[in-house]
């Protein structure tokens, strides 16, 4: 499901920098081990325990960071994640034939394309594969 961008509810900053194409509100998180391309960045804001979450997508990390600095919603948490395109990906599988020797975890390769979101701390991870 695509989430529509409401022109009335957006600040002028958001209108200026927001990604033209919106991505699905719900994406796989930190899954797949590798990606082909960073498509944009997502700012997720919310209030706990209400769990009322606001999501804004941006073309660049600097735009997302600027939005976080300038947008002063009364939120308990703010997260910036990368939105990535995966042209094939790896899923954990105890019986998988591919071993990431960095983590000593087995994977199976999934030959599909998808979009997912990743924590920024995982973007630079480089797996080292060997057949198990």
Confidence band for 37, pLDDT divided at 50, 70 and 90: very high
Q: What are phi and psi of 113, to 5 degrees?
A: -105, 145
pLDDT in tens, 69-85: 988 777 888 899 999 99
Of these ranges, 24-33, 48-57, 80-89, the one predicted with the greatest mean pLDDT is 80-89
Confidence band for 24, pLDDT divided at 50, 70 and 90: confident
113 against 71, higher pLDDT: 113
pLDDT in tens, 9-19: 344 444 445 55
Tokens read off for 69 = 């600095």
Residue 71 CA to its chain's centroid (Å): 20
Of these ranges, 1-15, 20-34, 108-122, the one predicted with the greatest mean pLDDT is 108-122
Distances (CA, A) of 5 to 10, 54, 72: 8, 12, 20
Tokens read off for 95 = 């019986």
């Amino acid at each position: 499901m695509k989430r529509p961008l409401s022109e009335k509810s957006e600040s002028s900053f958001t209108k200026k920098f927001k990604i033209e194409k919106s991505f699905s509100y719900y994406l796989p998180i930190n899954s797949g081990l590798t990606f082909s391309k960073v498509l944009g960045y997502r700012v997720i804001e919310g209030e706990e325990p209400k769990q009322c979450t606001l999501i804004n997508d941006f073309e660049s990390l600097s735009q997302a960071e600027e939005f976080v600095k300038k947008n002063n919603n009364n939120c308990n948490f703010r997260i910036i994640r990368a939105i990535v395109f995966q042209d094939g990906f790896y899923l954990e599988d105890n019986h998988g034939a591919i071993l990431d020797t960095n983590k000593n975890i087995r994977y199976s390769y999934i030959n599909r394309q998808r979009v997912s979101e990743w924590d920024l701390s995982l973007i630079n991870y480089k797996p080292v594969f060997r057949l198990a």
